[in-house]
Amino acid sequence: MSGPETNNTAGPHSFVGAQVGQMHDSNIYVVGPDDPPEHDYEVGVRYLDSGIPGKARDHLDNAYARGLDHPELHLNRALAILSKRSYRDLNKADRALLEELELRTESLSHATSGQALAVVFALLSCVDGSDGDSETAMVLLRDLPPEHRDPILRHLGLVLTGGMKQRLWNQIRNKAHREHTAGDRRDRVWSYFEPDPAEARAKHPAPKSYNGWSLFGGLLLAVATLSPIAFMMRTALAHGDFPALLSCLAMLVLGPAAAWALGEWYHEHRRRVALEHEYGYRRAPSSAPPKGGFTDQVESAFDHYFFKYAPEPENGEAWLKETAGVRRSLRDEVARTYRETEVEAGKVRWLIRFMARDVRRRWTGGMPLEPREVHNVTMVTRFRCVSLFLLLGAATVTALSAAFQQAPVTTVGCVLLAAVTARFTVPMWLNIQSERRRFREQAQEREEIVEARRAEHERWKAKLDELRPSEQEMEGWLDADKTLILDQVLRHHGLVWHEVVAHAFLPTPNQPCKSAHVPCGPWRYSRYEIRIFLVTEEGVREATADLDFERGTWEVKERYNYRFDAISSVQVEIKGMRRYTLKITLTNGPAKGIPVSEIPTRDTVDEAPPSESSEINLDAAGFSHTLRILEGIAAEGKPWFDREAEPSTRNVPPQPEADPPSDSHEPTPKGGAVAVPQRQSQPIPG
């Protein structure tokens, strides 16, 4: 991601991956108005597996409302209600829906999904005051097949607490160890943050510098030049001797041959000069492009990849110096070809890598790179041209001598006229012929270049499609990382689960970092800050870990311990529906700002509305549960956790009552701040 606070401290030959947001083309979360309810259900399951239970619940409920009714649907509906929430977080509507689902368990007991749903309610009965049998619930959970047991363990992670979680902790921890690096994670995660490559392009040849009027004028000049020469040759032939005849025949043969040789020499020289200008050898160095702009990012990428792909890594600096011209030419081509199409620099990195490897291949293969080598005028060409003009000069002198003897005045006049017109005719036709040849050569070169780049584009795109992890894999790896970090924090503090009253995770981006997402999906980051809040009888334990998500490594860098009365207030600041910041103020210190959700503003592709994207990101981060715990501490302190959960109303007809107040921790839709002062007089709704 990129923003006003992003700092890039990379060295001169290092390259930081895309700091702006990338969105991959995908429709895994998209439901059309004419799609059947089965597709709504599939999208809901994908949302649930991707760690976005709120959106999952919307789609699953919609599928049920449209007539879909089977055990797997109701199991996923229950998991969507409970995922990333504790039992305290459930409002009366949630609990009423769970009661409705529980009534279906008997009729669904014939299916494995129905049995899994029954296990969910057996576990809930142990935490909601219904005096459930935890031993029986544990046995039923262990007897489930892994495809149903693992989702229950994952989505009920905040519901199960105390002794129940202690019994399952070894199983949860071992599962996290298995999934932590499963699926070749370290060799694949990078591809998720790699932007979709821009289409292969190459610069078009410059238009020909002449038009029809230029050809017409050149034709008139050619007639004006050749006519006196022809008249002079006719006068020489009138002399009638053999030398005059031989010289005229030599002029007819040697003239076109010498003109062709001169044209070849001139064309190669002209193209060499043009390439030297393109390489920057014949023009003043241009000013540096604006920092952070497209051209600046392209230039940094060229420096990085040319240094990386140097034939001899230890001589990288010398290689960069020797290839400065060709690198400048290729950089200008990429910048001019893609700059006006709103393509981000990250989308052309594949092309820059390909160019760097191609230059190295030509270098090691002895192929020319410098202008004098690419458009070299060989000694054979030079010798042939000079020889032809010497012979043509000798033949012309002989013919002039014969013509002068017949008509001296006319011959002198013809020579003067031919010399004057040739001063303009020869350069014009040399340019015309060189332009024709140049355009033809560059058009052929472009076809070959585009064909090679398209092949590389398809290869790179196929590699990304093969390696890029799914949303479910990304969420599974992040969940495993959080579990293992939690295990490390528990061991550091010497805590066991029955000592933990409540806990919460708060994963946030650790900038600078790479970011990417799919349409309507959560933003995922290459680096996270994972905050863990553990509430015990004595107070709150907070730990922060820096997670390198691409490598799957982390370091716990900060640990705080404070009493319940140490939290003065909790505040959520909203800026433009794109940036949510949680501010925690302690009684003995300043407010601590934690950026919870930030949508990249330089995402140039079509995006969901900021409000919807923020809702998805907050849902994926489990922000609601974390904020509820912190609000409870700020509002009431330890008594908030000492209160028993609201008595169960399952299997009891609902009583009419007034509409419940809205949850105080939900952000206001118009931005601003939501603050919870210390020791509020009104308790947070349970």
Domain ranges of the chain: 1-23+473-686, 212-425
Q: Mapping DSSP to helix (H, G, I), strand (E, B) and coil, where does residue 529 land?
A: strand
Q: How many CB atoms lie within 10 A of CB 218?
A: 17
Q: How many CA atoms lie within 13 A of 583 on its CB side?
A: 16
Is it the case that residue 640 has pLDDT exceeding 80?
Answer: no
pTM confidence score: 0.77
Say if strands 21-23 and 515-517 run parallel, antiparallel, or are unpaired.
parallel
18-29 confidence digits (pLDDT tens): 345 677 767 788
290-328 confidence digits (pLDDT tens): 888 888 899 999 999 998 998 887 777 888 888 899 999
pLDDT given for residue 449 in this prediction? 94
Q: How many CB atoms lie within 10 A of CB 429?
A: 18
Q: How many CB atoms lie within 10 A of CB 658?
A: 5
Q: How many CB atoms lie within 10 A of CB 313?
A: 10
Closest among 51, 52, 77, 15 to 481, alpha carbons compared: 51
Is it the case that residue 521 has pLDDT exceeding 90?
Answer: no
- SS3 string, 417-450, reads HHHHHHHHHHHHHHHHHHHHHHHHHHHHHHHHHH
CA–CA dist 659, 657 (Å, integer): 6
Q: Mapping DSSP to helix (H, G, I), strand (E, B) and coil, where does residue 182 land?
A: coil
Q: Is the distance from CB of 457 to CB of 199 less than 8 angstroms? A: yes
Burial 19-39 (b: 16+ CB within 10 A, else e): bbbbbbeeebbebeeeeebee
User: Where is 503: in which H helix or E strand?
Assistant: strand 502-509
Percent of the residues in the chain that have a pLDDT greater than 70, as a whole number? 86
Sign of CA dihedral 420, 424, 427, 430: negative
In one letter, which amino acid is 612?
A: E
Range with top average pLDDT, 7-16, 87-96, 644-653: 87-96
74-86 confidence digits (pLDDT tens): 899 999 999 888 8
Q: Which two tokens stand for residue 440?
A: 């033809």
Closest among 562, 505, 567 to 539, alpha carbons compared: 562
User: Where is 475: in which H helix or E strand?
Assistant: helix 471-493
State yes or no: cis peptide before 512, omega within 30 of 0: yes
User: Where is 363: in which H helix or E strand?
Assistant: helix 349-364
Closest among 506, 547, 556 to 528, alpha carbons compared: 547
